[in-house]
C-alpha cells in the first residue's frame, strides 16, 4: 500500500453523490488532493479515480455518452485504481433492465436486473423495493480493499436493480436481499461497490481509506 498523498479525481457527469464522496475521501486521506471534475485531462492526471452514480441508469448513460465518460473510465482502468459506486458499478455492465432496457458500457460482463415487485425473504415475508438501508456484505475474495474490514460487515444500500452474483468471475462480495447479488466486483485496477461507502460509517470509511492506499 502506498502513502495517502495523491490526486484523486471524482468524475462529475451530473449524476453522482459527488460532494459526500469527496468529503469522505478528504476525511480518510487528509494529504490527498480530491478533485470533482468532468475534464478528461484532470482524470488522466489523477493517481486514482472514483466513478460514482445515483439515479436512473438511462439518464446516467445519456450523460456518460454525452460527456464521453465511458472512454475516460475505460482508459483509467488500464493504468490506475478506479472505484465505481452504486449506479457507477451498474454502468460498467453490459445491459440493464431499468427504463425498459438500457445498454451500458460493457466494461464488465453481465447484466443488471430488477429485484421485482414480489420480492420475499427466506420466511416468505415481502421485502420492500428499493433495497434501502444497512445489510451485511460477505467478502468472497481476499482483496486489499477489504483490509481491516470484518467479514459480514454492514454497508448502506439504496437500489432497486442489482448485478447477479451467480457465474460472475469478478464478484468480490455478496449480499442477500431475497436472493444473493453482487455487492462488490473486482477486476485488475477496478473495484466496484453497489453500496455507498461514503454513507457506511466505519466500514465504509475503511474501504475508502484502503482505496487511497491501493496500488491496483
| 104 catalytic per annotation | no
| 71 catalytic per annotation | no
| 164 catalytic per annotation | no
C-alpha torsion sign, points 98, 191, 28, 7: negative
Question: HEC string of 78-106?
Answer: CCCCEEEECHHHHHCCCEECHHHCEECCC
User: Using CA atoms, how far apart are residues 58 and 119, in angstroms rounded to an integer?
Assistant: 24
User: Using CA atoms, how far apart are residues 90 and 184, in angstroms rounded to an integer?
Assistant: 11
Which of 98, 104, 198, 212 is flagged as catalytic?
Answer: 198
> Cell digits for 77?
482502468
What are the DSSP E strand ranges found in the chain? Answer: 7-11, 33-37, 48-51, 82-85, 95-96, 102-103, 111-114, 131-136, 138-139, 154-159, 161-163, 171-176, 180-187, 190-193
Q: Mind giving me the DSSP string for 97-138?
A: -GGG-EE---SSSSEEEE--TT-B-TTS-B--SSEEEEEE-E
Which of 60, 86, 104, 175 is flagged as catalytic?
Answer: 86
Which of 98, 104, 196, 212 is flagged as catalytic?
Answer: 196
Catalytic residues: 86, 196, 198
Amino acid at each position: 500500500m502506498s502513502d495517502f498523498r495523491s490526486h484523486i479525481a471524482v468524475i462529475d457527469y451530473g449524476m453522482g453523490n459527488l460532494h459526500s464522496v469527496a468529503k469522505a475521501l478528504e476525511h480518510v486521506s487528509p494529504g490527498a488532493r480530491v478533485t470533482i471534475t468532468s475534464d478528461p485531462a484532470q482524470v488522466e492526471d489523477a493517481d486514482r479515480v472514483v466513478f460514482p452514480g445515483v439515479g436512473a441508469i438511462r439518464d446516467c448513460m445519456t450523460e456518460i455518452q454525452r460527456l464521453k465518460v465511458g472512454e475516460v473510465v475505460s482508459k483509467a482502468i488500464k493504468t490506475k485504481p478506479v472505484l465505481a459506486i452504486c449506479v457507477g458499478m451498474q454502468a460498467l455492465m453490459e445491459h440493464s433492465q431499468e427504463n425498459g432496457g438500457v445498454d451500458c458500457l460493457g466494461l464488465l460482463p453481465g447484466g443488471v436486473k430488477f429485484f421485482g415487485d414480489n420480492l420475499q425473504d427466506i420466511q416468505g415475508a415481502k421485502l420492500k423495493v428499493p433495497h434501502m438501508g444497512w445489510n451485511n456484505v460477505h467478502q468472497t475474495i481476499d482483496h486489499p480493499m477489504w483490509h481491516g474490514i470484518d467479514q459480514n460487515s454492514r454497508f448502506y444500500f439504496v437500489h432497486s436493480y442489482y448485478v447477479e452474483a451467480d457465474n460472475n468471475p469478478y464478484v468480490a462480495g455478496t449480499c442477500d436481499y431475497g436472493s444473493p447479488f453482487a455487492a462488490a466486483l473486482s477486476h485488475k485496477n477496478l473495484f466496484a461497490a453497489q453500496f455507498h461507502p461514503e454513507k457506511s460509517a466505519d466500514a465504509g470509511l475503511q474501504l475508502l481509506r484502503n482505496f487511497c492506499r491501493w496500488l491496483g
